[in-house]
A and B are shown apart, each in its own frame.
Chain A
Amino acid sequence: MASPWNKVRDDFPVLHQQVNGKPLVYLDNGATTQRPKAVIDALSRFYEMDNANVHRGLHTLSMRSTDDFEGARSRIAKFIHAAAPEEIVFTRGTTESINLVAASWGGANLKAGDEVLLTEMEHHSNLVPWQLVAQRTGAKLVYLPITGDEGILDLSQLDKLLTPKVKVFAFTHVSNTLGTINPVADLCARARKVGAVTVVDAAQSAGHMPLDVQAIGCDFMAFSGHKMAGPTGIGVLFGREDLLNAMPPWQGGGGMIANVEYLSSTWKPTPERFEAGTPNFADAYALGVACDYLDSLGRPEIQHHDGELARQAYARLSELPGIRLLGPPGERGGLVSFALRDVHAHDVVTFADQDGIALRGGHHCNQPLMKRLGLTSTTRASFYVYNTAEEIDVLVASMRRILKFFGGA
């Protein structure tokens, strides 16, 4: 029986093409997902009908544009169960969101002797911004270890590391390399006990599972539009309103000021305080449409679909001789990453591309984690709503051909 998910493929025009003479099998969703026609059409419609700068014009188009932009803010607040739209700041993406928190909140609140607790599985985007603010303030970075190849946070170390010296605890929801789903609500609850602020990197979870920032209990959350069927160049920082309103601006310019004198200015409250300059209103609007699209499929259903494909891929790939699979064998996010014997990931990716398969090979912006696991790179297959079990067959067959080609080295 055809799965109802097969119909989803019709929503994504880009999938219907051949690559190197083979039907495209797009398994690089961890890097960026494809966009459904609904989102592409929404962008066109916006530019064709409503486009004008927001919050400035008193004319009709500017009011429509502003309504579209602020409507998207409310939509996204609802999407993650934020208490108010003011808790949604638009950014360029996850990286900019975390930089904003690290520079603004961190710059104002961290001092020498304080600690920033991260985990060994953080993406560079949740690591380098903290290094920068640590260098500036004298705060120290501390890491919660993982258990090894199964890639689970070693929670037995948490009590020892999560001391009152820790002012901020920043961690990923779903690891982009390991596929691990971290117990974010539990981590936030434990951080709260020592008074640490929490930052959740939701880049790999926002488009894949239901999110409720109030149930999770985080202070900040960051995610990107392009990893959840939305446009590139737009992302979100969720922050608790009281925290955001206590933070200094990050960038200065138009739109974020209450009053400007030649020598000093005062700031608007959140979210405008953190959106200096003309915001990316068109893509914000289309991100709201992407939220509608994902909810029309159902996020619990998406989580089940992507996780099931990842589990199947993990099981099938584990039959290949000499493969080293990373991340938990059971419950996982929608991705699998592995080292195919001694064949380098870039050779794997080049071969798979000739079979029409788009994979990611490399360090996945996880260099310290790779070093920790004694690897330089892995190959990653990451799944989304339009991927199918048949595509896993294509993937596994391609991997078998690669092993054969490179022989018994």
Chain B
Amino acid sequence: MSSDLTELYQQVILDHNRRPRNKGRLLAANRVAHGDNPTCGDQCHVYLRMDGDRIAEISFEGSGCAISQASASLMTTQIKGKTAAEAEELYRQFHEIVTTGKEPEEISDLGAFAGVHAFPARIKCATLGWHAALNAIKGDEAPATTETHSD
């Protein structure tokens, strides 16, 4: 097994892929957004219940590769309870991690995705769920697609 591969598929990622957290439809949702990657057919729905500016509850539904599913799962655990601004800041950090491969300064499960940067074609997989979540937070009902933002 190459070291790049074990970096890409870290235990955290395999675990989230095998046992996704917060997966399923959230009946109490007051925001929904959909993300898709037309190149590979990956899909992700994100459901939110916003309580004021705070993400009170979050879930996702979707299908796709281990990277996209694990990333969406981890994303829900990371931004639950956060404000919209905090969620955006987390995405900024996550984006930095997957595009540069730099581990975050603070210890965080997000660092598990650092290996993605060695596989540029997979960065879109890792960011799909995040894009859908940010759209849901903004109340943007238009589907997030990996083709309309940089990655």
Contacts and interface: CB of A to CB of B under 8 A. Distances in A.
| Band of interface residues on B | 20 to 34
A376 interface: yes
A343 B69 CA distance: 12
B122 A346 contact: yes
A354 interface: yes
Contacts of A343: 66
A154 interface: no
A135 interface: no
| Band of interface residues on A | 20 to 34
B37 to A, nearest CB: 10
Given A376-B41, A377-B41, A344 B5 contact: no
A347 B40 CA distance: 12
A48 B80 CA distance: 64
B65 A347 contact: yes
B9 interface: yes
A124 B14 CA distance: 33
Contacts of B125: 346
A354 B42 CA distance: 22
B18 A405 contact: no
Nearest to A343: B66
Interface in B1-17: 1-2, 4-5, 8-9, 14, 17
Contacts of B39: 362
B119 A350 contact: yes
A161 interface: no
A351 B9 CA distance: 10
7 contacts: A344-B69, A350-B8, A350-B122, A362-B40, A363-B41, A376-B41, A376-B42
Interface of A: 20-21, 343-347, 350-351, 354, 361-363, 367, 370, 376-377, 401, 405-407, 409
Interface of B: 1-2, 4-5, 8-9, 14, 17-18, 39-43, 63-67, 69, 119, 122, 125
Given A376-B42, A407-B14, 19 more contacts: A20-B2, A344-B65, A344-B69, A345-B65, A346-B122, A350-B122, A354-B1, A354-B2, A362-B39, A367-B41, A370-B41, A376-B63, A377-B40, A401-B1, A405-B1, A406-B66, A407-B18, A409-B17, A409-B18
